[in-house]
């Protein structure tokens, strides 16, 4: 389906998570510009003049609501999508909201957006079924993790016994507490956040605990495949060398 350049809605998002969401629902009726690359921390980011201009001129601008670097911008309207979208239920709610936002900005595309919304929701439903089939593997397993991965790991069924911040924010005293806790609680895994540094490597050296790095934002992949990849990393970390075959159709 072809659209004139004049009919394409220009959407700017702060993160690849929101950009992926908009692209899934908006398809070829939208042109999406993402400000922060997927592998970078969106909470600590320096905007370039061209990015500021893109935000100010966007037909629709989406953010999570915690981006402090937006506070000084002259943006007439910021649409916020809250919640940890790595959790499928939260993403489903976000899909509904984004669909309504696109329909409001582009009423002629309503049927198109509704169709793509339904298609994306079906992909998410299949993802949830796959996750449920694996949940017993994770249930009750003890982990320490980046504070930014706590919600996702708890959703999967892990018991999060402690969280930590960025390596540069973690003093020697807190590091010793984590090391002692890993040994005392028989923690099986330390989970880092890609966008927040690798404290897990230090914990692995000190305790021998297995480590894993997950992402909170898509990096060159669609949403469903990003969630699947995170879960596969957890499975491989818990059962190294097993060459575990994990079923589940790939998707965006």
Q: How many residues does the chain have?
A: 252
Which of 115, 132, 149 terminates a domain? The answer is 132
The number of angstroms, rounded, from the C-alpha of 8 to the middle of its chain's C-alpha atoms is 26
53, 105, 166 from 216: Cα distances, Å: 26, 28, 15
Would you call 152 helix, strand, or coil by DSSP? helix
For residues 90 and 108, membership in a common domain is answered with: yes
Q: Is residue 227 in some structural domain?
A: no
Q: Is residue 128 in some structural domain?
A: yes
Residue 193: which domain range?
A: 139-217
Q: Is residue 166 in some structural domain?
A: yes
For residues 13 and 86, membership in a common domain is answered with: yes
Would you call 47 helix, strand, or coil by DSSP? coil
Output phi, psi for 245, to 5 deg. Answer: -90, 120
The pLDDT value given to residue 171: 87
Per-residue pLDDT of the chain (252 residues; tens, 9 = 90+): 455 555 799 999 999 999 999 999 999 999 999 999 887 777 677 788 899 899 988 999 999 988 888 887 877 688 999 999 999 999 999 999 999 999 999 999 999 999 999 999 999 999 999 999 999 999 999 999 999 999 999 999 999 999 999 888 888 999 999 999 999 999 999 999 999 888 999 999 999 999 999 999 999 899 999 999 999 999 999 986 544 445 555 555
Place of tokens 């708890």: 154
| Element spanning 233, H or E | helix 223-238
Q: Is residue 240 in some structural domain?
A: no
The pLDDT value given to residue 106: 97
The pair of structure tokens assigned to 233 is 């990393």
| Element spanning 88, H or E | helix 88-105
The pLDDT value given to residue 58: 93
Q: How many CB atoms lie within 10 A of CB 151?
A: 16
How many structural domains is the chain composed of? Answer: 2
For residues 144 and 203, membership in a common domain is answered with: yes
For residues 147 and 194, membership in a common domain is answered with: yes
The pLDDT value given to residue 166: 86
CATH code for position 91: 3.40.50.1980
- CA–CA gap between residue 223 and residue 16 (Å, rounded): 9
For residues 106 and 143, membership in a common domain is answered with: no
The pLDDT value given to residue 242: 45
The pLDDT value given to residue 90: 98
Is residue 25 within 8 A of residue 101, CB to CB? The reply is no
The pLDDT value given to residue 249: 53
Q: Is residue 224 in some structural domain?
A: no
For residues 123 and 173, membership in a common domain is answered with: no
The pLDDT value given to residue 194: 94
The pLDDT value given to residue 60: 96
Which of 132, 153, 172 terminates a domain? The answer is 132
């Amino acid at each position: 389906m072809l659209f004139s350049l004049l009919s394409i809605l220009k959407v700017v998002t702060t993160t690849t998570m929101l950009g992926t969401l908009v692209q899934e629902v908006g398809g070829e009726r939208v042109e999406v510009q993402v400000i922060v690359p997927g592998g970078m921390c969106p909470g600590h980011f320096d905007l370039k003049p061209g990015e500021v201009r893109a935000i100010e001129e966007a037909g629709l601008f989406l953010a999570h609501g915690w981006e402090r670097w937006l506070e000084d911008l002259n943006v007439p309207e910021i649409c916020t999508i809250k919640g940890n979208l790595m959790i499928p239920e939260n993403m489903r709610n976000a899909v509904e909201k984004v669909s309504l936002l696109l329909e409001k900005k582009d009423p002629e595309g309503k049927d198109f957006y509704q169709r793509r919304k339904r298609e994306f929701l079906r992909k998410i439903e299949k993802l949830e079924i796959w996750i449920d089939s694996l949940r017993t593997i994770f249930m009750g397993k003890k982990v320490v993790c980046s504070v930014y991965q706590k919600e996702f790991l708890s959703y999967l069924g892990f018991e999060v016994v402690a969280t930590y911040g960025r390596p540069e924010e973690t003093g020697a005293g807190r590091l010793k507490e984590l090391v002692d806790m890993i040994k005392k609680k028989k923690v099986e895994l330390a989970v880092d956040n890609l966008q927040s540094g690798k404290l897990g490597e230090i914990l692995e050296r000190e305790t021998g605990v297995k480590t894993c790095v997950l992402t909170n934002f898509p990096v060159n992949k669609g949403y469903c495949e990003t969630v699947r990849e995170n879960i596969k990393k957890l499975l491989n970390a818990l059962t190294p060398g097993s060459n575990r075959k994990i079923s589940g159709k790939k998707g965006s």
